[in-house]
Amino acid sequence: MFGDLFEEDYSSVSNNQYGKGKKLKTKTLEPPAPREFTNLSGIRNQGGTCYLNSLLQTLHFTPEFREALFSLGPEELGSFEDKDKPDAKVRIIPLQLQRLFAQLLLLDQEAASTADLTDSFGWSSNEEMRQHDVQELNRILFSALETSLVGTSGHDLINRLYHGTIINQIVCKECKNISEKQEDFLDLTVAVKNVSGLEDALWNMYVEEEVFDYDNLYHCGTCDRLVKAAKSAKLRKLPPFLTISLLRFNFDFVKCERYKETSCYTFPLRINLKPFCEQSELDDLEYIYDLFSVIIHKGGCYGGHYHVYIKDVDHLGNWQFQEEKSKPDVNLKDLQDEGEIDDPLMILKAILLQENNLITVDQLGQKLLKKTGVSWNKKYRKQHGPLRKFLQLHSQIFLLSSDESTVSLLKNCSLQAESGFLKNDQQIFKTLTSESLGLNDNTSCPHWFDINDSKVQPIKEKDIEQQFQGKESAYMLFYRKSRLQRPPEAQANPRYGVPCHLLNEMDAANIELKTKRAECDSANNNFELHLHLGPQYRFFNGALHPVASQTESVWELTFDKRKTLGDLRQSIFQLLEFWEGDMVLSIAKLVPAGLHIYQTLEGDELTLCEIEIADEEDIFVWNGVEVGGVQIQTGIDCEPVLLNVLHLDTSSEGEKCQQVIESPHVFPSNAEVGTVLTALTIPAGVVFINSAECAGEESWTAIPREDMKKTFREQGLRNGSSVLIQDSNNDDNSLLTKQGKWTSINEINWLQVKNLCQLESEEKQVKVSATGNTVVFDIRITAIKELKLMKELAENSCLRPIDRNGKLLCPVPDCYTLKEAELKMGSSLGLCLGKAPTSSQLFLFFAMGNDVQPGTEMEIIVEETVSVRECLKIMLEKSGLPGGTWHLRKMDWCYEAGEPLYEEDATLKELMISSGDTLLLMEGKLPPLGFLKVPIWWYQPQGPSGHWESHQDQTNCIPSQGSVWRAASTQGAPGNVPAEGSVLYVGDIEISEDAVLADLKSQAMTLPPFLESGVPSPAFLRAWTVESKRPGRLLRSNRQPLKEYKLGRRTEICLEPLQKEENLGPQDVLLRTQMRIPGERAYAPAVDLVWDAARGCTAGSLRQRVAHFYSLPVEKIEIAKYFPEKFEWLPISSWNQQITKRKKKKKQDNLQTAPYYLKDGDTIGVKNLLVDDDDDFSTIRDDTGKEKQQQLALGKKKSREALHVQSSDVFSSAETPGRPRGQEASLSIHVGSFR
């Protein structure tokens, strides 16, 4: 649903020259981290797949769904080993879901990966980085599963667990006749706006009746007249699992933007659906549902993040968390005040309890330093020895791992035993359902977890109430029937219901993970050091810089961090055979000014961990005194600071110019501020610093003369700070205003009202002063007076906002304040004739056709109780359109025609039509329900390409003048068009969704233009969908029902004539091949090529097929795919192998994925290297097309710039959004055919 939601900000990454060219650390790929204390696994986010992760976790924690999927064995679904075999039906999506659920249950890793699952969806890396709507995904994933499970015992899995029905009834008040219509649902969509909660919304939907009376009567078929009636809906069949989608996103047609409804919306933990059901005689337990999952959306309508609250029905997780008695942290300072910090045993116990009882020994030392302010070596080493040795000596309390890298408290060291030193301020761990730290066995208390991608945290049931409202609030609710009981053997048993082959696979994977973690733990003791060699550096401009290249000045050293500083010094001596004299090792850091030395390393007997040398540390190797003959100051006090100094430019004659120049200067942090004047050779002057708190603002403050002796650090100046210098001898040419700012901007506190009443007036527009609480009526009356218009306008006028494109929006009611009307200061309003609509009326825009130009819409005001049929009649009368062959569609937020308004007897209020909505008048009557109205096109590829041709003259295939055929415009310049042909509109047909493709072809052949084509039978026609006026998806099977193709109500079909019947297999790919003409930038006419991709959709396989088709050696051809929308050819080589970041291993190229995305109907250019050795595949037409695209892009750029200039005034700038929104992309999952 949403576009790019996670745009990372890399602006803060340093661009220092010393960072460039640095050797990347080659490190063993670490295995996944083990599960945390909850014993549950999360799912890694691939970039924008948090919505997918939340839904998958919900399905995983639906045991009935999970076990039903596990019950399908390889004999029904196939196996991964057979997926590349020809004629093997492998249902890859259910198999990947089975494996993912098994990993979530059994694999000891912090988070599972969905990479293989999304690959089975047919998603590219771009799709994985783009976020969509989880409600949309829920429907699409269920549809993909239903298609994948056709012909198996699980064909009714989704229907059995999630399918319910709704019955809509209209009861005649006269004869009591009941008209019924049944609807199926997999999820219920409920309103959020103006509703207090879920039960209130369900009451409005399934209890409240709508009465037809007075001017809105119902035509009863039995009475055969207009009568009073009541319309209602009830739940007829309840599924075992009820999914509820909350409509939190709406569209504001006044502001022309979407917004998220963040008001309070309550929902119960247990709900009784009996009042909303048609049948109420069943047992009460049949209507009781318990909440078990809440998918939460955090953010706004243009971006955000999903996570999920889930109830662990089977108690698979370890539901424990910290319970605070008083303070959240152990107060180690209290121990220090009491003199107890001298006991290291007490301190280490407290830290381990505070850090979840398991950390590395290195982290333990760092936590000790952080908590107490003193390191182990300085405080305890002399008395107690090294830290590891101390932990070994107290093995009755501490448990070290086999490699002595991690430490924890022994389990028998209970929390109560530590109360002597933690006193009453300690923080204790308490398992809410068990005293042990193991698995909980108390089933009376519900176990809820917050699963946020990789992270899993326990929560309390009361925490769900926090998701009732706000920017982070519930978006989807999942309920299960309370009578659904789990078997006792499933409790706390993750292996329950998992097939044997998956159990064996997970057991083997756990053994492999354990081995890899042991290897990685050993390898992680090595770290990288960057040795900066003193003789290769020189000191200038306040810092150290390499004399020659970076590679000669910096050496990379891999070293064991468990060794001592003396070992490191000895290794460097051996490495640098040329070194003479003393060797001093110092910690250095790269700062914007260059390299600076901070601390000299001492204590050759200490390990590198104990002296806290970090990985990737910069070590400066020198004699400890000077570099290149210059004595070096070290330490943080003299750290170089890079400042931006602004001052007036001096001309060659010594005169001051009014041009301000900015130059970088480096000063020691402990230098006096006055040295900046010396550096610029200014004898006397004033120094200003920017004191603005916000970035982008400027507020300069002069430093008093007595503060010029203070250091740069004392003045708060740091790297990147700006300093403004003004010569005292030129006070007249001051760079600043008296307020210390470059400019002064007055606050906007007015609105502009334009006279659009078409009445004579001295003024065209006026500015009216206002505040956020000013009433719109007062602004309108003030504007009428200042525009000197007639007083009568006060009774017959209204104010309408004007958007940045000059369009008049919906009138604003007089009773609103500016804040309530969401009008911003500086906005433009139009004073127009006519009253604003009342609370029971709707102000609607309407236009004819789909291609609506801005400003061409017409306007009407109608009652909200008007039916769609009556609204259509009013619009037709106002627009002067005759006839009854029209219907209405609602314009969607993309300004395109949405779904038709099928229920012509429904009121606008029922269909949730709001003021400001735009309705489109579309020509043509709507087909009956269950039927499709399909536009039919004729597709004839250019030239002979193996297709059927009439024995008549070719002109017979071209419509004569006055014919109903309509040619679609083709993109690009005329000339040699690769594999393209004319697409001609033939007419429309109405056909049932249950009809098969052969029926559609037969019915299309009855259209008048087809009667002249001479096609023998439907078997000689190939069907495609139409996309962008060219063939899109190939419809293969003539016996497949149309509804299984999921064509939708806007799909158009083009039919292509064939010379003979064809029967394409599921793995066959139909390509248009064209041989390049030697010596010319042109191609021969296209020829159809059927390629069997069952043995692998690789470049080598395709090259062999093309070479065999043209009877050429495979090494003597080159092929390329044509991208007509870009006018580009992409060569296809059988030697290109790509390395995916995700799998870190080579894999054979798949032409159906990036970058080729090969599909039916694609054009393949073929070059015979025996006669043509030119590398170029392009044609003259491609050059012309690219040139036109460049001109078009340049024109659009100029238009945007012109629009930006026009909208730069204060009125439109107030309305301009912060950043442009990208076009939204649809979500789809590709599934093979298993019928």
Name the nearest CA neighbour of 1161 among 939, 976, 955: 939
Higher per-residue confidence, 924 vs 1081: 1081
Kindly report, residue by residue over 191-243, the tens digit of the pLDDT: 998 899 999 999 999 999 889 988 889 999 899 999 999 999 999 999 999 99
Question: Residues 532-552: pLDDT tens digits?
Answer: 988 889 888 889 988 877 767
Residue 272 has pLDDT above 70, yes or no: yes
CA 558 to each of CA 528, 586, 589, 644: distance values in angstroms, whole numbers, following the listed order: 5, 17, 18, 38
**The pLDDT of residue 839:** 79
Calculate what percentage of the chain has a pLDDT beyond 90.
Answer: 28
pLDDT attached to residue 285: 86
Least confident of 670-679, 737-746, 773-782: 737-746
Cα gap 553→568, rounded to integer Å = 19
Euclidean distance between CA atoms 110 and 38, whole angstroms: 10
Contact indicator for 593, 541 with CB cutoff of 8 Å = yes
H or E element at residue 142: helix 134-148
Long-range contacts, 880-884 (Cβ 8 Å, 24+):
881/848, 881/921, 884/925
State residue 1053's pLDDT score. 92
Pairing of strands 111-112, 218-220: unpaired
pLDDT number for residue 727: 75
What pLDDT was estimated at residue 760? 67
The burial class, CB within 10 Å (0-12 / 13-18 / 19+), for 713 is: middle
Strands 472-481 and 241-247: what pairing? antiparallel
Run of H or E residues at 429? strand 428-431
- What is the torsional sign of CA 420, 425, 429, 432? positive
681/709 Cα distance (integer angstroms): 18
Rounded mean pLDDT of 408-415? 61
Ramachandran bin of 1030, using left for φ above 0, alpha for ψ from -120 to 50, beta for the remaining angles:
beta
What residues pair up with 1087 in beta bridges, in sequence order?
1073
Question: pLDDT band for position 684 (50/70/90)?
Answer: confident
Question: What's the pLDDT at 202?
Answer: 94
Q: State the pTM of this model.
A: 0.43
Amino acid at 291: L
| 527, pLDDT greater than 90 | no
Q: Decide if 1072 contacts 1090 (C-beta within 8 A).
A: no
CA count, 13 A, side-chain hemisphere, 904: 14
Mind giving me the DSSP string for 1199-1230? HHHHHHHHTTSHHHHTTS-SSPPPPP------
Distance of CA 559 to the CA centre of its chain: 41
pLDDT tens sequence across 276-286 = 998 878 888 88
User: What is the spatial distance between Cα 1034 and Cα 1061, in angstroms, rounded to a whole number?
Assistant: 15
| 697 class by beta-carbon count within 10 Å (0-12 exposed, 13-18 middle, 19+ buried) | exposed
Helix (H) or strand (E) holding 296: strand 288-300
| Cβ neighbours for 321, distance < 8 A, ≥ 6 positions apart | 432, 457, 458
CA distance 124 to 1193: 27
Question: Confidence band (pLDDT; 50, 70, 90) for 981?
Answer: low
Q: What is the pLDDT of residues 300-310, one digit of tens each?
A: 888 889 999 99
What is residue 135's three-state secondary structure? helix
The overall average pLDDT reported for the chain is 80
Instruction: Report the C-alpha gap between 240 and 660 in whole angstroms.
Output: 74
Mean pLDDT computed over 829-856: 82
Where does the pLDDT of residue 1226 fall: very low under 50, low under 70, confident under 90, or very high at 90 and above? low
Half-sphere exposure of 660 (CA within 13 A, CB side): 14
- Dist CA 189 CA 182 (whole Å): 16
pLDDT tier, 7 (very low <50, low <70, confident <90, very high otherwise) = very low
Look at residue 637 in the predicted model and tell me its pLDDT. 87
DSSP-assigned states of every residue in 910-973: TTT--TT-EEEEEESPPPPTTEEEEEEEEEEESS-SS----SS-GGGGSPPTT-S-EEPPPSS-
Q: pLDDT tier at 964 (50, 70, 90 boundaries)?
A: very low
Q: Give catalytic residue positions.
A: 50, 305
Residue 860, beta-bridge partner list: 844
Q: Output the CA–CA distances (angstroms, integers) from residue 126 to 479, 523, 1150, in the order listed.
A: 33, 34, 16
Kindly tell me if the per-residue pLDDT of 18 is higher than 60.
no
Q: Quick check: 477 pLDDT over 90?
A: yes
Please state the separation of Cα 518 from the chain's center in Å: 36
Cβ neighbours, 10 Å, residue 396: 9
The Cα 957–Cα 955 span in angstroms is: 5
Are 1171 and 1078 contacting, i.e. CB atoms less than 8 angstroms apart?
A: yes
Count CA atoms within 13 Å of residue 367 on its CB side.
Answer: 23
549-593 tens-digit pLDDT: 776 788 888 888 888 898 898 888 888 766 777 889 999 999 998
pLDDT per position as a tens digit, 718-738: 888 888 888 766 554 455 544
The pLDDT value given to residue 716: 85
- Give the amino acid at 355: E
Number of residues written out for the chain: 1235
**C-alpha 21, offset from chain centre:** 33
Distance CA 220, CA 1072 (A): 58
Confidence of residue 24 (pLDDT cuts 50, 70, 90): very low
pLDDT per residue as tens digits for the range 1013-1055: 778 888 889 998 888 778 888 898 888 888 888 776 678 899 9
Joined together, the tokens standing for residue 196 give: 């207090």
pLDDT of residue 1146 exceeding 50, the answer is: no
Looking at 116-125, 519-528, 831-840, 1140-1149, which range is the least confident one?
1140-1149
Q: Where are the beta strands (DSSP E) in 636-684?
A: 640-650, 656-668
Band of pLDDT at residue 512, cut at 50, 70 and 90: very high
In this structure, the number of other CB atoms found within 10 A of the CB of residue 1043 comes to: 13
Tokens of 791: 């007083």
* pLDDT surpasses 50 at 190: yes
- C-alpha to C-alpha distance for 727 and 717, rounded to whole angstroms: 21
Lowest mean pLDDT among 39-43, 52-56, 233-237, 603-607: 603-607
Q: How far apart are CA 258 and CA 237, in angstroms?
A: 35
State how far the Cα of 1032 lies from the Cα of 1166, in Å rounded to an integer.
22
- The string of pLDDT tens digits covering residues 589-613 is 999 989 999 999 988 888 888 888 8
pLDDT per residue over 935-958, tens digit each? 999 887 754 333 444 333 333 333
Binned at pLDDT 50, 70 and 90, residue 511 comes out as very high
For the stretch 128-177, pLDDT in tens is 777 788 888 999 999 999 999 998 999 999 999 999 999 999 999 999 99
In this predicted model, which residue has the larger pLDDT, 895 or 1185?
Answer: 1185
913/921 Cα distance (integer angstroms):
15
